[in-house]
Chain A
Amino acid sequence: MSRAPLLYVGILFTVIASSLGLITLPEKQLVGLEPVVDDNGVARPVEPGGAVAEGRELYRALGCLYCHSQQVRPQGFGADLERGWGERRTVARDHIFDRPPLLGTMRTGPDLANIGARQPSESWHYLHLYEPTLTSPGSTMPPFRFLFQEREQVLGRPADALELPARGEGAARIIVPRPEAKALVAYLKSLDHGYAVPEVP
Chain B
Amino acid sequence: MDETTQAAAVDRQEVLRRAEIDASCRLPAMAFFASSVVWLLVGSALALLASWKLHSPQFLADWSWLTFGRVRPAHLTVVAYGWASMAGIGALLWLEARLCRVTLPLKGLLLGGCALWNVAVAGGTMDILAGRGTSVEWLEIPPFWAGLLVVVFLLITVVSMMMFAARRVSHIYVSQWYLFGAVLWFPFLYVMANWLIHMNVVRGVTQAATNWWFAHNVLGLWLTPIGLAVVYYLLPKILGVPIYSYHLSLLGFWTLALFYNWAGTHHLIGGPLPAWLVTVGVVGSVMMLIPVATVALNHHMTTRGHFARLRESPTLRFTVFGAMSYTAVSVQGSLTALRSVNEVTHFTHYTVAHAHLGVYAFYSMVMWAVMYYAIPRLAGREWPSARLIAVHFWCAAVGMAIYWVGLTWAGVRQGMLMNDADVAFLDVVRYTVPYLWSRSLAGVLMTVGHLVFAWQVLQVLLPGRRRVRGPALFGRQRPVEVAP
Measured CB to CB, the residues of A under 8 A from B are 1-2, 4, 7-8, 10-12, 14-19, 21-23, 25-27, 29-31, 33, 59-67, 69, 71, 73-74, 77-79, 82-83, 89-92, 94-110, 132, 136-146
Q: What residues of B have a CB within 8 angstroms of the CB of A71 in the complex? A: 270-272
Q: What residues of A have a CB within 8 angstroms of the CB of B136 in the complex? A: 100
Q: What residues of B have a CB within 8 angstroms of the CB of A10 in the complex? A: 254, 257
A31 to B118 CA separation, bound complex (whole angstroms): 39
The distance from the CB of A90 to the nearest CB of chain B, in whole angstroms, is 4
The distance from the CB of A80 to the nearest CB of chain B, in whole angstroms, is 8
The distance from the CB of B275 to the nearest CB of chain A, in whole angstroms, is 10
Structural contact, B61 and A138, CB atoms closer than 8 A: no
Quick one: which of A18, A77, A100, A101 contacts B261, CB cutoff 8 A?
A18
- Counting residue pairs across A and B whose Cβ atoms lie within 8 Å, the total is 219
Structural contact, A62 and B70, CB atoms closer than 8 A: yes
Given A103-B272, A136-B426, A140-B55, also A17-B261 (CB < 8 A): yes
Quick one: which of B63, B70, B177, B348 contacts A1, CB cutoff 8 A?
B177
B445 at the interface (CB under 8 A from A): no
Q: What residues of A have a CB within 8 angstroms of the CB of B267 in the complex? A: 105
Chain B 247-273: CB-based contact to A (< 8 A → 1; otherwise 0)? 000100010011001101101101111
B364 at the interface (CB under 8 A from A): no
The distance from the CB of B347 to the nearest CB of chain A, in whole angstroms, is 4
Q: What residues of A have a CB within 8 angstroms of the CB of B192 in the complex? A: 19, 23
Knowing that A92-B204, A106-B348, A142-B58 touch, tell me 12 more A-B residue pairs with CB under 8 angstroms: A4-B172, A10-B254, A12-B188, A18-B262, A60-B134, A62-B64, A77-B343, A78-B270, A99-B200, A103-B205, A138-B426, A140-B54
Q: What residues of A have a CB within 8 angstroms of the CB of B346 in the complex? A: 105
A7 to B58 CA separation, bound complex (whole angstroms): 53
Within 8 A of A (CB), among B45-101: 53-55, 57-58, 61-64, 67-70, 72-73
Given A15-B189, A33-B204, A99-B207, also A62-B67 (CB < 8 A): yes
Q: What residues of B have a CB within 8 angstroms of the CB of A78 in the complex? A: 270, 343, 418-419
B425 at the interface (CB under 8 A from A): yes
Structural contact, A66 and B68, CB atoms closer than 8 A: yes
B331 at the interface (CB under 8 A from A): no
Structural contact, B57 and A143, CB atoms closer than 8 A: yes
Structural contact, A67 and B69, CB atoms closer than 8 A: yes
Given A10-B257, A60-B134, also A15-B202 (CB < 8 A): no
The distance from the CB of A191 to the nearest CB of chain B, in whole angstroms, is 14
Chain B 287-322: CB-based contact to A (< 8 A → 1; otherwise 0)? 000000000000000000000000000000000000
Quick one: which of A19, A79, A103 contacts B271, CB cutoff 8 A?
A103
Quick one: which of B270, B348, B420 contacts A73, CB cutoff 8 A?
B270
Structural contact, A95 and B204, CB atoms closer than 8 A: yes
Measured CB to CB, the residues of B under 8 A from A are 53-55, 57-58, 61-64, 67-70, 72-73, 131-137, 164, 170-172, 177, 180-181, 184-185, 188-189, 192, 196-197, 200, 202-211, 213, 217, 221, 250, 254, 257-258, 261-262, 264-265, 267-268, 270-274, 277, 280-281, 339, 343, 346-349, 351, 418-421, 425-427, 429-430, 433, 436
Structural contact, A140 and B204, CB atoms closer than 8 A: no
Quick one: which of A17, A107, A138 contacts B348, CB cutoff 8 A?
A107
A24 to B252 CA separation, bound complex (whole angstroms): 28
The distance from the CB of B466 to the nearest CB of chain A, in whole angstroms, is 46
The distance from the CB of B174 to the nearest CB of chain A, in whole angstroms, is 8
Given A22-B277, A61-B132, A107-B418, also A15-B207 (CB < 8 A): no
In this complex, what residue of A is CB-closest to B207?
A100
Q: What residues of A have a CB within 8 angstroms of the CB of B257 in the complex? A: 10-11, 14
Q: What residues of B have a CB within 8 angstroms of the CB of A64 in the complex? A: 69
The distance from the CB of A109 to the nearest CB of chain B, in whole angstroms, is 8
Structural contact, A100 and B197, CB atoms closer than 8 A: yes
A27 to B201 CA separation, bound complex (whole angstroms): 10
Q: What residues of B have a CB within 8 angstroms of the CB of A8 in the complex? A: 180, 184
The CB with the most chain A CB atoms within 10 A, among B68, B221, B347, B425, is that of B347
A103 to B200 CA separation, bound complex (whole angstroms): 16
Given A27-B202, A140-B57, also A66-B426 (CB < 8 A): no
Structural contact, B68 and A142, CB atoms closer than 8 A: yes
Structural contact, B171 and A139, CB atoms closer than 8 A: no
A110 to B211 CA separation, bound complex (whole angstroms): 22
Q: What residues of B have a CB within 8 angstroms of the CB of A67 in the complex? A: 68-69
A17 to B280 CA separation, bound complex (whole angstroms): 13
Q: What residues of A have a CB within 8 angstroms of the CB of B425 in the complex? A: 83, 110
A21 to B67 CA separation, bound complex (whole angstroms): 38
Structural contact, A26 and B131, CB atoms closer than 8 A: no
Structural contact, A63 and B69, CB atoms closer than 8 A: yes
Q: What residues of A have a CB within 8 angstroms of the CB of B73 in the complex? A: 63, 66
Q: What residues of B have a CB within 8 angstroms of the CB of A77 in the complex? A: 270, 339, 343
Given A7-B172, A26-B206, A145-B61, also A63-B135 (CB < 8 A): yes
Q: What residues of B have a CB within 8 angstroms of the CB of A96 in the complex? A: 203-204
Quick one: which of B185, B250, B271, B277 contacts A11, CB cutoff 8 A?
B185
A61 to B348 CA separation, bound complex (whole angstroms): 22
Q: What residues of B have a CB within 8 angstroms of the CB of A16 in the complex? A: 188
Q: List 19 A-B contacts (CB under 8 A).
A: A2-B172, A10-B257, A18-B213, A19-B213, A22-B213, A23-B213, A60-B133, A60-B134, A63-B135, A64-B69, A71-B271, A71-B272, A79-B421, A90-B271, A100-B211, A103-B268, A106-B347, A106-B351, A137-B426
